[in-house]
Amino acid sequence: MLEVAASIVAEVSKLRDEINHHNYLYHSLDSPELTDVEFDKLFRRLKSLEAEYPSAVTPDSPTQRVGAKPLEGFEQIRHELPMLSLDNAFNSNDLQDFDRRVIARLQDESQIEYACEPKIDGIAVSLLYEDGILVRGATRGDGTTGEDITHNVRTIESVPLKLMGTDYPGRLEVRGEIYIARSTFKSLNQQAEAEGEKPFANPRNAAAGSVRQLDARLTAKRKLTMFCYSVGLVERGELPLKHGEILQQLKLWGLRINPKLAIVQGAQACIDYYNRMQLDRDDLDYEIDGVVFKVNSIAQQTRLGILTRTPRWAIAHKFPAEEGVTELLDVEFQVGRTGAVTPVARLKPVKVGGVTISNATLHNMDEVGRLGVRIGDIVLLQRAGDVIPKIVGVEKKSENGKKILLPRKCPSCGSDVVQSQDEVIARCSGGLICQAQRQENIRHFASRLAMDIEGLGDKLVLQLVEAGLIKTAADLYDLSLTELVELERMAPKSANNLLAALEKSKDTTLPRFIYSLGIQEVGESTARSLAMHFGELEALLAADELSLQRVPDVGPIVAKKIARFFAQKSNQDVIEKMRRLGLHWPAIEVSAAADVLAGKIYVLTGTLNQMNRNDAKAKLQSLGAKVAGSVSKNTDCVVAGDAAGSKLVKAQELGILVMDEQALVDFLAEHNL
């Protein structure tokens, strides 16, 4: 038996090494030696062995990239060395001035050696390796503090879970840019459109949203990748003395670096590199928005130092936005999923950066006024990468130009279009009945923190809307088994489960119901404050703006939006239908309980076992506390569950009261919660 176990351990170890080697060849060197079928065979064999012998599984195994349960929120990570920003050069003169400053500070008249790399348009991240094992991934954040995204970076195939070789430092922080390849981005959007989902605006937005998913399984589906561009913290080991050589060393350890990296001498060579990249950018399978130049010598970097938040030894030379000129034929107004009414320019088709443009955003009516644009004018367009083109100026005024006017009625549902004095965005006031907002309203209504209707996801909401079965959230409670089973891929069991979930959701709470209505500016906390203050829905419906302003955290602007929502007859009708169909909640006794923690700021961290974070947050808020996401000197108390991290450490450093989960449970019990 021992002999068999030893042979299994040896095979598992060999398989892992082979898989890591071939991952490296594929993702870092772009020179695979195996076909996908051959690679999958190795991976399946390793997976089957680990399933049969669970004790053989280790965190750095290639099979462990995805598998952790979804997080409830992101922990804050304080970077041990700040992640700096870069100064920008906008033309060749700026770059030559940068070179002259470097020479002057170094007091060296010889040409400076620079490392040149394309500037990837992605998300900056930090990877921390301890003894060669990936232990943490974090976003850049504000450069000082980011978010812990370890569960997501582990899903990225180009990020090794274990470094290759043996000569790496004991602690090594690698920095780089996570992005989505253009080809992958195109496939993702084709899939989204096929499934009736909203496509991503551009690869950068897609990457940013992907690294901040609480469920790593969703991140894994986005096929993110990464280029490494520098190191941060280095302990118990040494690195080469030049930036370019450090990157080559990272490559030997299994990390992916940009193949366009070049080492050149002097400012003119940097300008030549920039010009080459500008010509090549459309042929790359990733978005770049410029070039980064860094003094190659680490010793010279140290002598040059940093200026506040930017290094004196590096600069980013951005590409200019691509521009074109064409005629503004018309302006139409579109209603977004949140009710925003946006002017969209219809243009005489023109090619900009190799793409034919016939539509462009005008953002809002303030922008229309600032530009002074009218229908019929010849306008200047600007496009950067895959970002939606925008009108940035008027090239020639039309003698008979037609003024652009904000519609008084919503082009989707005919409700009044309103615009608050504090906002530049005009909105449809139709709320619960607007067709354009229908899918988003119903999705929000069914979400976990609102009515928590299990099984009613985005795709099913879209199916129900497109089939004409629901026009408002109230119609959900009119659905029948016969209607549901006629939907594509809806079996009788699934239909019955949905009907049961809808029935269960009728028994709710007043704060949840208020939040589910999707009133602008009314989140969970405000919904709870409104419920605790008024005690019953009828009192809230009858409240005027002055009465609403007496609610904690409700100012004049939010009060106006709440009053306007409940004043709409269409919204009143939907709410009345919901109640007629059985939605109900227990009465709330308005008492002094809401003042117990009034003005106090609490922070939750770690894993709670006796309740989830959302329940704990709701109960603290019902006592008047504000529940924040990060610890500061203004924090009054930190509730620390199992495996509490940096927030607990910071609380202890600041001398803030720390409460464990049992103390919280006991405290809430004292107040009948």
Which of the residues are catalytic? Answer: 119
Dihedral through CA 285, CA 286, CA 289, CA 295, nearest 10? -100
d(CA 16, CA 77): 30
25 by Cβ neighbours in 10 Å (0-12 / 13-18 / 19+) ranks as middle
Question: In the numeric block, which tokens belong to residue 574?
Answer: 């939907």
SS3 of residue 374 by DSSP:
coil
**Using an 8 Å Cβ cutoff, are 102 and 126 in contact?**
no
467-479 burial code (b ≥16 CB/10 A, e <16): eebbebbbbbbeb
d(CA 237, CA 251): 17
**Using an 8 Å Cβ cutoff, are 47 and 40 in contact?**
no
Helix extents (H) in 591-660: 613-622, 646-654
Strand 601-605 versus strand 626-628 pairing type: parallel
Neighbour tally for 285: CB within 10 Å: 10
Query: Which residues does 30 contact at the CB level (< 8 Å), separation at least 6?
Result: 259
Q: Compute the residue count for the chain.
A: 673
d(CA 121, CA 124): 9
For tokens 């504090």, what's the residue?
422
| Paired residues of 352 in beta bridges | 355
d(CA 549, CA 558): 8
